[in-house]
Amino acid sequence: MREYFSRRRAALRSLLADSGVDALLVTDLLNIRYLTGFTGSNAALLVHGSGDDKTIFCTDGRYQVQSATEVPDLERVLDRASAAKLADLAAEKKLGKTGFESQHVSVEQHEDLKVRFDRVELVRTPGLVEQLRLVKDEQEIEALRQACAAADRALEDLVSAGGLRPGRTELDVARDLENRMLGHGSTGPSFDTIVAAGANSAIPHHRPTSAVLATGGFVKIDFGATVDGYHSDMTRTFVIGKPAAWQEEIYELVQRAQAAGCDAVLPGAEVSEVDKAARGVIVEAGRGEEFGHGLGHGVGLQVHEAPSLATTGVGTLSAGMAVTVEPGVYLPGRGGVRIEDTLVVREGTPELLTLSTKELVVV
């Protein structure tokens, strides 16, 4: 069970050698969880760049028992000022150049570290752990798969129980869905659930209100579950009662665009080209201005992480990356449609993790 954390730290040590540093001070809690499995609220990690795993883990006394269970394979130090303590140890061990996660360190923290690193050269090394987190291993993909399954089952329960009936409020539906995800193994929602009814469905990131679901309107639901710290992300759009012609038109358009985007999720694909594959379908239909956000994003320990599938996105997809594909068309004052899936990039065709139907469901 601990072997995959050891493999991740070994991969990080290779990056340290390539970056020309002797060690890395890791202070971001998500990166620490990725490298060790620790889930507490205070910790730091000092990763040596040598061939052996000489990583030192530090947390405070509140987590003495928890860390013994979650991080049994590393040298552990207890100190409330975890990062400062490891900085002192780096200086004592004369580690030489020591990198730090500059994208996560405040100005105040940096000033404190500089004082403590008076005998060691402190070097900015942003994004090294995040670079590893781009490609998920099979343990991570299984957690994502379970999170997506919890969301799928909760949505199925909600719909079959009449949870989208006219008269319910957006807030009622959001709370109902989140509770159902908990019942299917989620430890909590990936983010604040979006339920947008009627004209509100034209607002991409609408927050649920006391607005009621009404016959003739769309209901857009963007939500996710969390399992073992990993997030799912899915959007489905429903219509209450018989859909109007304009509703069927934009739903079918978004459905085609989403399919084109999913088909483009291949190893080696430029992220901007994946966006273009879906966006082009909407642009060709004359509705390009009604799709105003990026196509998708990476998902993992954060619900929004690299890579960015957008017109301005940079980089290519690799097998093992987990991404969302979520085109939308939004008509202000009338309503909007978004369809979103979480997928894993695989050789050949991507693995679809969110399995709820993408046909227009009339409730």
- Pick from 214, 196, 213: which is nearest to 205 by CA? 196
Structure tokens at 255: 């459905």
> How many residues are present in the chain?
363
What's the burial of 18, exposed, middle or buried (CB within 10 Å: 0-12/13-18/19+)? exposed
User: For 274, which DSSP code?
Assistant: H
SS3 24: strand
At residue 134, the pLDDT reads 98
At residue 94, the pLDDT reads 80
pLDDT, tens digit, for every residue of 244-255? 999 999 999 999
User: For 206, which DSSP code?
Assistant: P
Residues 6+ apart with CB under 8 A from 277: 260, 261, 263, 264
- Given a contact cutoff of 8 angstroms between Cβ atoms, the answer to whether 314 and 330 are in contact is no
At residue 116, the pLDDT reads 67
Domains of the chain (ranges, CATH numbers): 1-133 (3.40.350.10), 138-362 (3.90.230.10)
Alpha helices in 216-321 (DSSP H): 245-263, 271-284
Question: Is it the case that residue 51 has pLDDT exceeding 80?
Answer: no
pLDDT band at 1 (very low <50, low <70, confident <90, very high): low
pLDDT, tens digit, for every residue of 166-201? 999 999 999 999 999 999 999 999 999 999 999 999
pLDDT, tens digit, for every residue of 141-172? 999 999 999 999 999 999 999 999 999 999 99
Mean pLDDT of 232-261: 98
Kindly write down the DSSP assignment for every residue of 254-266, as one continuous string: HHHHHHHHHHT--
Question: Is it the case that residue 111 has pLDDT exceeding 90?
Answer: no
pLDDT band at 2 (very low <50, low <70, confident <90, very high): confident
Distance linking the first and last C-alpha atoms of the chain: 44
pLDDT band at 95 (very low <50, low <70, confident <90, very high): confident
Question: Is it the case that residue 41 has pLDDT exceeding 60?
Answer: yes
Buried b (16+ CB within 10 A) or exposed e, 69-80: ebbeebebbebe
- Given a contact cutoff of 8 angstroms between Cβ atoms, the answer to whether 148 and 234 are in contact is yes
Minimum mean pLDDT range among 115-119, 137-141, 162-166, 296-300: 115-119
- Pick from 93, 32, 100, 101: which is nearest to 67 by CA? 32
- Given a contact cutoff of 8 angstroms between Cβ atoms, the answer to whether 192 and 240 are in contact is no
- What is the dihedral sign for C-alpha 321, 262, 191, 292? positive
pLDDT, tens digit, for every residue of 56-71? 999 999 999 999 999 9
- Given a contact cutoff of 8 angstroms between Cβ atoms, the answer to whether 269 and 316 are in contact is yes
pTM: 0.94
pLDDT band at 15 (very low <50, low <70, confident <90, very high): very high
